[in-house]
Structure 1
């Protein structure tokens, strides 16, 4: 029998499950949208920040006021830096999806746990041997399942490099978010972070004169789906979970986006996965299981370990 649940277990597990499902739709929607990737990234973050404004400026206005007035300057700095890292992530990964394939871009950005592990080690929170083994298995599985386009064409190489950079910036964003979320509410953190990201992306779009309007209805529908799904339910739920779960664990769980995105791309965009990729997907999932069930990552809160163990336990309750 499993250990008794801490009261915070179910919300954390539910947040992680919803987040994985939501972010899996991201790459197929980006590929589907007939608009510049940076413009889609701007609308995705700008509309998400707008949707959070009533709560941030309402129930959370006291906390937000302290941050904006400099009373909580350190917390505000982490929010701003996370927004910069998030903008860099979107500015690299989203174009890679449109330049290359959904599967390859998603797999290469999934190298995030490697960079996240290095960041955690630098912070003195080194993963255990099981953690490193799980990360290695998961990343190897992602690479096996989707393949790499290096050498195919200049366009494919550019897409691969951008996706790899996107994984690096995602690791930085997650690590900074973990620091900010330790003292701030999810709403305040995400409102500042998404707002900062949107402002930076808007500046880039205006500088290079990318069209921000005039899209067809299907593209606007895809953008709205990105806002509601991958952004508000995906990133925001991961940010919520960061309050009780380490950034490295969240980064590893994000690897589940790889088979999810591949499945959606197959059903929706007709990008059928190669049969040779199936063992890689199984290896990826095995790596995640090693990290979660093997206690591969050190965390400050013991109940976070219990919550993720419960999440990985398929037995009915």
Structure 2
């Protein structure tokens, strides 16, 4: 049973929406390679979370390596690889296409989550299929607006879609890892694997990891403190008072939020032809989320 919303919870939700909405504009603003930003984002987050986790969750972390939780360790590590794939695709997309389009396309995660569930043998409710159809139609319209404009923008659209697929895989793996693990232990392993993977990718690809101006470093710190730590922490806090479905719907506010910040700060205005597609895309994702919530609330049928 969720309680009535208090001013503190409302403030936390508002702060979380602003924090996650700032991510894509900061990526687009930072004068650094997107892959390098992805590395620093996770590496610095591990630096913040690591000491606390090693003190408070030492026994749990030891059990993941030498005890009965090696299965969870594997899933956590695989989730870290999937998260690295997400950052390696979505973060460059924010620098190739408009912030609004990149954010909207990566918000299709629930659609791909539903298709992954189908591949695992689960049945999808009719509303989920309707939402998937609406979202896919919107994505086609939105990306089609970039076909005639530039190959760079279209490449960004496709990378954003790949980022949505990989974050859906990451969520599925994390769900399995979190069956017995605490958030702290899981997050530390996942972010560590992600940071190590991005470091290898940057070194092999010759990506510059330093030598940036102070404004770029401030942008990277803003991403770490905002979207990486503050945003998701505030949403987790809000779960004490609001449902997970409501939080999922509130996360969709990142789409107009990022677009507004990019317009006011970076002067980015999406192409007019993309607006109908972006609207359909967000509407389709909303239908998928609400349809999934109704399925979870539906009482189980009696066994005969």
TM-score after normalising by structure 1: 0.78
Say yes or no: does 1:176 pair with 2:173.
Answer: yes
Bigger drift between 52-61 and 77-86 goes to 52-61
**Is 1:224 the counterpart of 2:221 in the alignment?**
yes
> By how many angstroms is 1:176 displaced?
1.1
Q: Separation in 1 of the partners of 2:37 and 2:55?
A: 28
Equivalent residues of 1:291, 1:297 under 8 A apart: no
Change (3 A) 1:172 1:14: farther
Distance 2:119 2:42 in 1: 30
Q: How is 1:231-270 mapped onto 2 (pairs within 5 angstroms)? A: 231-235=228-232, 254-270=251-267
| Alignment-derived partner of residue 302 in structure 2 | none
CA–CA distance in structure 1, aligned partners of residues 198 and 292 of structure 2: 38
TM-score, normalised to structure 2, is 0.81
C-alpha distance in 1 between matches for 2:9 and 2:120: 24
**1:65 to partner: Cα distance:** 1.7
* Paired residues, number: 298
Instruction: Assess, with a 3 A threshold, how the Cα gap between structure 1 residues 47 and 230 changes in structure 2: closer, same or farther.
Output: same
Structure 2 gap ranges (5+): 300-304
Q: Corresponding residue for 2:20?
A: 23
From the superposition, tell whether residues 293 and 99 of structure 1 become closer, same or farther in structure 2 (CA, over 3 Å).
Answer: closer
Partner residue in 2 for 1:46: 43
Counterpart in the other structure of 1:88: 85
Distance, in Å, in 2 between the alignment partners of 1:82 and 1:237 is 22
Distance 1:261 1:145, change over 3 A: farther
Q: Which residue of 1 aligns with 2:31?
A: 34
Q: Residue 310 of structure 1 aligns with which residue?
A: none
Residue 38 (structure 1) shift: 0.5
SS at match of 2:146: coil
Distance in 2 (CA, whole Å) between partners of 1:28 and 1:170 is 19
Q: Secondary structure at the match of 1:149?
A: helix
**Quick one: structure 1 residues 194 and 249, their matched pair in 2 at CA, closer, same or farther if it must change by over 3 Å?**
farther
Cα distance in structure 1, aligned partners of 2:69 and 2:239: 19
For the aligned residue pairs, the C-alpha RMSD in angstroms reads 3.7
Return closer, same or farther for 1:293/1:93 CA change in 2, 3 Å cut-off: closer
Which residue of structure 2 aligns with residue 314 of structure 1? none
Distance 1:240 1:167, change over 3 A: farther
CA contact (8 A) 2:27 2:34 kept: yes
Give the whole-Å Cα distance in 2 for the aligned partners of 1:280 and 1:34: 30
Judge which range, 94-103 or 36-45, deviates more. Answer: 94-103
Give the secondary-structure state (helix, strand or coil) at the position aligned to 1:47. helix
**Shift of residue 75 of structure 1?**
1.0
1:1-317 correspondence runs (5 A): 4-5=1-2, 19-138=16-135, 140-141=137-138, 148-235=145-232, 254-273=251-270, 283-284=280-281, 286-287=283-284, 289-291=286-288, 296=293, 298-299=295-296
Alpha-carbon distance between aligned partners in 2 of 1:256 and 1:181, rounded to the nearest angstrom: 26
Deviation at 1:85, TM superposition (A): 0.2
Aligned CA distance change for structure 1 residues 110 and 293 (closer, same or farther; 3 Å): closer
